[in-house]
Amino acid sequence: MKASDLNAENSGRPPEDRETAKRLAELGCQIGSRRTFAIISHPDAGKTTLTEKLLLFGGAIRLAGSVKSRKAERYATSDWMELERQRGISITSSVMQFEYLGHIINILDTPGHQDFSEDTYRTLTAADSAVMIIDGAKGVEAQTIKLFQVCRRRGIPIFTFINKMDRDAKNPLDLMDEVEKVLGIEAYAMNWPIGMGSYFKGIYDREKRTVERFRPGSSHKTAEAALSGSLTDEEVREGIGADLLAALREEIELLDLAGNTFDRERVSRGEVTPVFFGSALNNFGVPQFLSGFLALAPRPQPRETNLGRLKPDSAEFAGFVFKIQANMDASHRDRIAFIRICAGRYERGMTVVHTRSHRRLRLAQPQQIFAQERTILDEAYAGDIIGVHDNGTLRIGDVLAERDGLEFEAMPFFSPENFARVSIANALKRKQFIKGIRELQEEGAIHVFRDPHLGVEAPIIGVVGQLQFDVLAYRLREEYGVPVSINHLTYGLVRWVAAEEPNLKLLKDSNMSLVVLDKDDNPAVLLLDEWKAAWMSERYGIKFYAEPAVNR
């Protein structure tokens, strides 16, 4: 008799039950150690810098390297990012994973530029929490507000890192007030800055009542270096100086008496944001932020589905596609679908059901995308993101699961607000052009409409932000070898109508409206603005819908 059988006999349970119990315990352990979050910020607040420092803690990037060099490396690996370099903005999202103090941390990078908000919003559906970076000198900026609102709608916990305290910043009390007033969320300071700019002396940890002193230029790499001592230490007091010490005492007293109280439950519901101060560039306050974050951030949470709540540690694998990207790497010229695993465990080569087609798919070579490098994954768990090669089967929002019929909440839909006719100069490139438009539409980068009187080679493209047209033209040229001309249209709104709408024929194509078909041949109308839409709806007795029928 084998030892395991003996144990089974002793425990009174058959061996296969014990095996299952062991597997489930292992699954729970793996999933419990996952923290998957997105970083949101206005461009230039320090997202790249903070991400890089976080990765450094996990040993993912062993050499510190400056932000610039990391960016430069990224450009070098993918030529369509040339556009990023030219414009100095980040337009792609990638996924990074690292291990730290027994946790597996997945960071979802989100593009900062407002024109890429659709992609960002979809990425946020894959995150269990968000980290919001605020530039201490600028406070809450426009793009931060928009992204914050999406996180808020999802009800995920939001952590705040107020960056660049080594520079002159706004008054920290005013910054806290700004977060509360502008974003409408309660803020709780986990630590407090002592001075700022050239007088920046460090941060005070409110829970531990310790001070970490700031020494400009030092690397602040390890958590050990963080604790410099308490406010009663003579050396610490001298280092801070009498004036700043008095100001610190006063501000802490004010926070203790008049500030919000710390409430873990409310943090997890996204009602209170824990606020950390620091300087990402100097790697200062970053270890404190990371350990505070890990203590409070949620493990993968259950998701609502049409079949009820799905627990992440359920034995069955389930996930959804939140992003598709073609030609990520010039040397591969392939298309990757990013899947957020919501439940269970992924195993290399496993077969799952593609809910939309009810067909079985083999996840043959899933990859983990680490910045632009790839490694083949053997296993992954709920909370992780895997990238799979896709030949056109997958769409954003598609569900892959062991059981058929499972559906998650619908992806947020963003109606395009800018429209243009896109055409090719060289008719010989027709095939490539059609392929490029189709693939970019499947990626979710553009909305494609068609004038019913014209063919697919004269599409009308809708986008949320103008800059997406530049990216479209750039990618068609670089990735598909098709130069295009883009003729902007004056319409600023699209409204869908019922397929059997009898009054649609009353609309004459004009500067005021244009009847089109969307990618699934649903009839829609391009209109100038909300006001004109309301007027036309009344005048012609047509009911307009903000989304196509499938989303309604």
Shortest distance (Å) from residue 418 CB to ligand GDP: 24
Rank residues 210 and 279 by Cβ distance to ligand GDP and give the closer one.
Answer: 279
Residue from 47, 122, 299, 303 that binds ligand GDP (CB under 6 A)?
47
Stretch of 137-145, 277-285, 418-426, 491-499 lying at the interface with ligand GDP (CB under 6 A):
277-285
CA–CA gap between residue 31 and residue 238 (Å, rounded): 46
Q: Which of 179, 281, 342, 472 binds ligand GDP (CB under 6 A)?
A: 281
Closest distance between ligand GDP and the C-beta of residue 71, in Å?
7
Backbone angles phi, psi at 368, to 5 degrees: -105, 130
287 is in an annotated binding site: no
Q: Could you tell me which of 412, 398, 448 has the C-alpha nearest to residue 546?
A: 412
Rounded Cα distance, 141 and 115, in Å: 15
The answer on whether 459 is annotated among ligand-binding residues is: no
Check residue 111 for interaction with ligand GDP (CB under 6 A).
Answer: no
Specify the residue, 187 or 286, whose C-beta has the smaller distance to ligand GDP.
286
- Please report how close the Cβ of residue 124 comes to ligand GDP at its closest, in angstroms: 16
- Counting residues that bind ligand GDP (by CB under 6 A) gives 18
Tokens of 360: 């079985």
Residue type, 247: A
* 46 lies in the binding site for ligand GDP (CB under 6 A): yes
Q: What is the DSSP-derived secondary structure letter of residue 50? A: H
167 binds ligand GDP (CB under 6 A): yes
Q: How far apart are CA 110 and CA 99, in angstroms?
A: 20
Q: Is residue 112 close enough to count as binding ligand GDP by CB under 6 A?
A: yes
Q: Which of 185, 168, 141 is nearest to 279 (CA)?
A: 168
Which lies closer to ligand GDP via its Cβ, residue 121 or residue 419?
A: 121
DSSP string, 134-170: EETTTBS-HHHHHHHHHHHHHT--EEEEEE-TTS---
Q: Is 383 annotated as a binding residue?
A: no
- CA 274 → CA 186, 206, 254, 466, 527, distances in Å? 9, 12, 17, 35, 43
Residue nearer to ligand GDP on the CB measure, 277 or 346: 277
Q: Per CB under 6 A, does 163 bind ligand GDP?
A: yes
Binding to ligand GDP by residue 335, rule CB under 6 A? no
Q: Which of 45, 54, 337, 533 binds ligand GDP (CB under 6 A)?
A: 45
Asked if 92 touches ligand GDP (CB under 6 A), the answer is no
The Cα-based distances of 119 to 64, 122, 154, 446 in angstroms read 29, 5, 16, 11
Nearest to 202 by CA among 159, 160, 233: 233
Task: Confirm or deny that 418 is annotated as ligand binding.
Answer: no
377 touching ligand GDP, by CB under 6 A: no
Q: Closest approach of Cβ 352 to ligand GDP, in Å?
A: 35
DSSP 226: G
Residue found by looking up tokens 């280092």 in the block: 239
| CA 383 to mean position of chain CA atoms | 13
Among 93, 129, 279, 468, binds ligand GDP (CB under 6 A): 279
**Residue 114 in the binding site for ligand GDP (CB under 6 A):** no
Residue 147 to residue 131: CA distance in whole angstroms: 11
User: What is the C-alpha separation between 476 and 423, in angstroms, rounded?
Assistant: 11
- Considering only the stretches 45-53, 184-192, 225-233, 264-272, report the one whose residues sit in contact with ligand GDP under the rule CB under 6 A: 45-53
Interface with ligand GDP, residue 220, by CB under 6 A: no
Residue with the two structure tokens 């960071």:
107
36 binds ligand GDP (CB under 6 A): no
- Decide if 546 contacts 415 (C-beta within 8 A): yes
41 contributes a contact to ligand GDP by CB under 6 A: yes
- What lies within 8 Å, CB to CB, of 549 at 6+ separation is 496, 498, 499, 522
Choose between 161 and 491: whose C-beta lies nearer to ligand GDP. 161
Q: Binding site, residues?
A: 41-48, 109-113, 163-166
Q: Which residues bind ligand GDP (CB under 6 A)?
A: 41, 43-49, 67, 112, 163-164, 166-167, 279-282
